[in-house]
């Protein structure tokens, strides 16, 4: 494990000590400050946040040939699979592993890690004040495809009686709530590839305004499947490169589409007041959230980037920041020609041409591929770790700048880089835009 992995939690701060020394628990408008106390991940880099962080900081591409099914008849042959994933090795029973779809299994393993790090003892909590806001962009696509095949080939009597509760997208949130005894809100916010970020943002708003004290939030996806790869490929959204190292190229002039990935990201969010009362360690603070709609096109982003700019401005304003405060942008950065150009121009519109070109930019998707409904949560975790550790990660796959994306994409990690705030963008089919503003908890002012 790299030095970055070994030291990645060095920026955590005891909430109670900070509050005792005079750190306010409320924002100037009287609403609650919201902090992250636990994080968990399952990604093509492996199981655990440490594996994700090591891959991203090491600029390691975790994409490879598809092994789950035969792609001979497909135009696409690479993806971000989770190699050798065995749910039973990571805390699920054999019955759970048989019954739960992969997106639920990923959600549970990531959430187990986040809950363990947060040390949230549900026996000591008012369970009705702890929510679960956990989404998926697509849901149980494998069970859906299998069910249709069974129906067509064997008839209605042979369809799995648990077909519906296995396949539906909200069942990850439902099973997580059951697993931990979370009796507050139980929601599945679905906004395609912005799902993970919108789930976190929804939970932040609930905590900020006092509806709940804490929440488990994030997103999960099992998108490396025959029907998904066929559909995305026929849409023209996927890279057709056969070399995994040359497939996911965010902001690069050679980019030709995204690479399908899978996994889950989970965070435990709390009001600072609640975290301090139970003696939790604070990892980072969610200082703002922006959410907008393009009202433009079913799959293409508005090329002006106006909706993305508004989301970023909302996130900054909620935290009391201005564009000049942005330490870096964790971009949606899918590697499609339209997305990356739109996002680049949005950053220049936000910060001004000269200043926008100087803001460090990273896309995690060069390392993991595009984990769709999980991406916003996975990238929020990387963004939180970046502000905790005073650094900005590099972008795997990026080598040849595109004049139409005139932004500062890093090829080497930027270290010794304290930041007031960083932004993490997520965009989804249908024109959904989400932006999370993340800040180090210590010395934020």
Report, as residue numbers or ranges, the catalytic residues.
Answer: 193, 332, 370
Q: Using alpha carbons, list the distances in angstroms from residue 312 to 294, 306, 317, 405, 438.
A: 13, 10, 9, 18, 12
User: How distant is the alpha carbon of residue 71 from its chain centre?
Assistant: 27
Query: Is-contact 131 215, C-beta < 8 A?
Result: yes
Residues 6+ apart with CB under 8 A from 294: 301, 302, 306, 307, 431, 432, 433
Q: What residue spans of 83-194 are helical by DSSP H?
A: 94-99, 102-118, 141-154, 163-167, 171-180
Q: Is the backbone of residue 130 left (phi > 0), alpha (psi -120 to 50) or beta?
A: beta
The secondary structure of residue 389, as a DSSP letter, is T
76, 289, 436, 437, 443 from 317: Cα distances, Å: 42, 9, 11, 10, 19
Give bridge partners of residue 39 from the DSSP assignment.
267
Whole-number Å distance between alpha carbons of 207 and 286: 11
Backbone φ and ψ for 360, nearest 5 degrees, come out as -65, 140
- Beta-bridged to residue 293, according to DSSP, are 432
Distances (CA, A) of 254 to 77, 129, 265, 331: 18, 49, 29, 18
Q: Tokens at residue 153, please?
A: 């080939």
How many helices (DSSP H) and strands (DSSP E) are in the chain? 16, 16
């Amino acid at each position: 494990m790299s030095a970055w992995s070994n030291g990645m939690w060095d920026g955590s701060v005891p909430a109670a000590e900070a509050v005792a020394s005079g750190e306010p628990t409320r924002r100037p408008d009287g609403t609650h400050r919201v902090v992250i106390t636990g994080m968990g991940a399952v990604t093509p880099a492996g199981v655990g946040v440490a594996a994700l962080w090591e891959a991203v900081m090491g600029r390691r591409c975790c994409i490879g040939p598809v092994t789950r099914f035969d792609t001979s008849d497909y135009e696409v042959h690479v993806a971000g699979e989770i190699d050798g994933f065995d749910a039973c090795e990571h805390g699920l029973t054999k019955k759970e592993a048989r019954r739960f779809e992969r997106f639920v299994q990923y959600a549970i393993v990531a959430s187990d890690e986040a809950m363990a790090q947060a040390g949230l003892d549900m026996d000591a909590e008012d369970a009705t004040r702890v929510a679960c806001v956990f989404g998926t962009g697509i849901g149980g696509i494998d069970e859906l495809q299998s069910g249709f095949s069974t129906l067509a080939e064997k008839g209605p009597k042979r369809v799995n009686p648990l077909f519906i509760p296995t396949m539906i997208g909200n069942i990850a949130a439902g099973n997580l709530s059951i697993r931990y005894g979370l009796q507050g809100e139980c929601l599945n916010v679905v906004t395609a590839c912005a799902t993970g970020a919108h789930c976190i943002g929804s939970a932040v708003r609930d905590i900020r305004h006092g509806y709940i004290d804490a929440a488990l939030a994030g997103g999960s996806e099992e998108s490396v499947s025959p029907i998904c790869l066929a559909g995305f490929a026929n849409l023209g959204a996927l890279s057709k490169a056969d070399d995994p190292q040359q497939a996911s190229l965010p902001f690069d002039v050679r980019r030709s589409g995204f690479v399908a990935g899978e996994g889950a990201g989970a965070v435990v969010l709390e009001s600072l007041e609640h975290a301090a009362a139970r003696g939790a360690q604070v990892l980072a603070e969610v200082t703002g959230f922006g959410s907008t709609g393009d009202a433009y096109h079913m799959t293409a982003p508005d090329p002006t980037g106006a909706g993305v700019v508004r989301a970023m401005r909302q996130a900054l304003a909620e935290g009391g920041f201005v564009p000049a405060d942005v330490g870096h942008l964790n971009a949606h950065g899918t590697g499609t020609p339209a997305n990356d150009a739109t996002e680049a121009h949005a950053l220049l519109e936000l910060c001004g041409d000269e200043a926008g070109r100087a803001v460090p930019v990273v896309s995690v998707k060069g390392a993991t591929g595009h984990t769709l409904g999980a991406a916003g949560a996975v990238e929020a975790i990387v963004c939180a770790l970046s502000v905790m550790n005073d650094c900005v990660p590099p972008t795997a796959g990026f080598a040849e700048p595109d004049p139409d994306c005139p932004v500062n994409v890093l090829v080497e990690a930027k270290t010794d880089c304290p930041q007031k705030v960083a932004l993490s963008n997520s965009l989804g089919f249908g024109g959904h835009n989400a932006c999370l503003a993340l800040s180090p908890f210590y010395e934020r002012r």
